Amino acid sequence: MEILQILKWPITVLVSLIIIALMFKVEFSKLLSKAKGFNLKAGGFKFETQEEKLVANQDEVVEKEQQKSLLENATKIFRPETIVLFRGYVQLETKYETLSSDHDKFNRLLDYSVIIYILKRFEWIYDNIFGSQIALLQALNSLGPHDNTIFNFYYAQAKKRYPEAYEGFSLETYPKFLFSNNLIAVDNDQKIQISILGLDFLKYLIDARKNLFKDL
């Protein structure tokens, strides 16, 4: 199974985490602590109109994501037979049984879960990011670090194209989504640069054949 095909099976996120917890009887919180930096907050919000999306404010969307872990609700959502079925799929996919030690098996399954977390998180970011913000990331990738006037340009272009949608959505708010999701950072010279996570996000968009020219 190709990595991108995993996106078609988001249920595997639940299954792989359940397998780790059941096989090694470790607390889920400890698993997340090992994989911190890829913490997935389940959920996300869809917006029916451009106006609603901007008025809601991307920064608020991040704060309102569901806090409960997927694993906590897994047994309530899926039947035991489904869990067993996909447990078998994960065993075949990871080939963890070919490993000799429990430590190696644990790390194989944890790595598998982390990859799925990354893909799931990038999918959520893509659902909520604005097309002009993707263009901004591409510019930082091509041009290198830039002063914060780069926000002015992309915000102005987006507002010019969607004046009604951007009414009430300020320039100060515009970069918050990028900062809060660690897609950009400030370097030692106080310039804005794309982060390693931002670079991997752009690579994900290309590999997954996502539309790089979203609205807004």
Q: Record the pTM.
A: 0.68
Lowest average pLDDT, out of 33-42, 99-108, 137-146, goes to: 33-42
Per-residue pLDDT, 37: 43
The residue extents of the domains of the chain are 3-49+66-127, 130-207
Indicate the residue type of 113.
S
Residue 6, number of CB atoms within 10 A of its CB:
18
Per-residue pLDDT, 19: 62
Question: CA quadruple 25, 120, 116, 140: dihedral positive or negative?
Answer: negative
Per-residue pLDDT, 64: 55
Q: What is the pLDDT of residues 152-165, one digit of tens each?
A: 999 999 999 999 88
Q: For the chain, what percent of residues have pLDDT higher than 70?
A: 65
Per-residue pLDDT, 70: 63
Question: In b/e form, how buried is each residue of 92-128, taking b as 16+ CB within 10 angstroms?
Answer: eebebeeeeeeeebbebbbebbbebbbbbbbebbbeb
Of residues 167 and 127, more confidently modeled:
127
Domain 130-207 belongs in CATH node 1.10.10: yes
